[in-house]
Chain A
């Protein structure tokens, strides 16, 4: 198996830009996916295939990739964006799915 490594927490003020990174040797050979989970709720997919945004997800959410690091960027953070964010990817064989440990985003 392999690991995806995320910082445990980050904080930003409303209106600022939040960047959450995820490191893994599986990148760039596999796509990254990002999920938002608010307290007491099920996760929601916010970015798929590194950079694509599902319908209904605000444009302030974007994804990027550079070598073995993928990044979720939230431009113009709002109070409602406070949540845990998880990166995820299949392994190199496309069989196992692994999640990062999650990053808690606090909006100050």
Chain B
């Protein structure tokens, strides 16, 4: 099983960035997927979740209206479009899956991609 995030980098406040996550070694299309972030030296913060067929999408209040989660099951890929970025969005962003039938758990994590928002 692998979850490999990419797309992180340095961006100015107000800018945009799109993160990607490539899944392999499991049946991607049957798993709910999530983004969880961790600011440097801080705790974990749930960002967004998407069901296996994209019927259900949820966001944390801190990113609602600015971030958009999506997935392409034909390419085993998860995305996070981040707009209107703020300094407080700077963090390591983890791609995480939830096994089918599980409710609310984060069962397997990628290694993360770092986003830095700074002028």
A102 and B105 contact, CB distance less than 8 A? no
B112 at the interface (CB under 8 A from A): yes
A99 and B46 contact, CB distance less than 8 A? yes
In A23-49, the 8 Å CB interface with B consists of 30-31, 33, 35, 37, 42-45, 48-49
Which chain B residues lie closer than 8 Å to A44 at the CB level?
109
A42 and B109 contact, CB distance less than 8 A? yes
Closest residue of chain A to B3, judged by CB? A42
Give CA–CA (A84, B49) in the complex, Å: 24
B40 at the interface (CB under 8 A from A): no
Which chain B residues lie closer than 8 Å to A97 at the CB level?
34, 46, 49, 104, 106
Chain B interface size band reads 20 to 34
Cβ-defined partner of B44 (8 Å) among A1, A48, A54, A86: A86
State how many angstroms separate the Cβ of B19 from the closest Cβ of chain A. 15
B105 and A48 contact, CB distance less than 8 A? yes
B106 and A42 contact, CB distance less than 8 A? no
Give CA–CA (A54, B105) in the complex, Å: 12
Cβ-defined partner of A43 (8 Å) among B61, B102, B109: B109
Chain B residues packing against A (C-beta within 8 Å): 34, 43-46, 49, 58, 60-61, 94, 102-112
Sample (20) of A-B pairs whose CB atoms are under 8 Å apart: A30-B104, A35-B106, A42-B94, A42-B112, A43-B44, A43-B106, A45-B108, A48-B102, A48-B105, A49-B105, A88-B44, A88-B46, A88-B106, A89-B104, A94-B104, A95-B58, A97-B49, A99-B43, A99-B44, A102-B44
